[in-house]
Amino acid sequence: MNGNDPLTFDDEQEPGALELETEGEEGMDGEDVDITPSDIVFECANCDHVIVIDYRGAGLMIRCPECNDAVEVPIPGGMNVSDLDKSPEELFGLVLQARRSLGKAEQRVAELEATVASLVERRTSLERSRAGMLRRNADLAAACQNLTRLINEAAHSVTRMTALLASPEEA
């Protein structure tokens, strides 16, 4: 490997394991990037950013995390894309697992739909109750205004009566 290549072999690692020399670069989480033997390591053709991807990404078009340019993940020598295909037994197992997951998801959807229906019913009930309370409050406000008017009239009458009683009698 040349001196500019960010890939080096570490003598302490098991044979075939690669380690990325970050030269001040870190992964997205701030940690040094760990490269496993099954990873594909290549450079973006546009910006020369080192990209590490799992071998299952071989042959895919991805976006460079640095320049956002479309990059095709190279297929390592001696490997065919068909090597990534699963056996019929593995596929059948995945289908069964997907069916179980779908069943659980459908059950959860039914539970959530029942919850939503319950919440809608509760909201409708609360809105009706609120409308009744608003009508009641309006009636109480009108009664209070009427009572205030009557109290003011009574106070005015008492004031007039007091004034009549305090004035000298005219005979």
pLDDT tens per residue across span 100-129: 999 999 999 999 999 999 999 999 999 999
Tokens coding 115: 């919850």
Determine the longest span between alpha carbons in the chain, in angstroms: 133
Q: Which residues, listed in sequence order, are joined to residue 43 by a DSSP beta bridge?
A: 50
**pLDDT given at position 8:** 36
Q: With a cut of 80, say whether residue 93 has pLDDT above it.
A: yes
Q: With a cut of 50, say whether residue 26 has pLDDT above it.
A: no
Q: Which of the pair, 16 or 31, is modelled with greater confidence? A: 31
Residue 7, classed as helix, strand or coil, is: strand
Q: With a cut of 60, say whether residue 161 has pLDDT above it.
A: yes
Distance separating alpha carbons of residues 133 and 139, to the nearest angstrom: 10
Domain ranges of the chain: 7-84
What phi, psi does 59 have (nearest 5°)? 85, -5
Query: What is the band of 33 on the pLDDT scale with cuts at 50, 70, 90?
Result: low
Q: With a cut of 60, say whether residue 42 has pLDDT above it.
A: yes
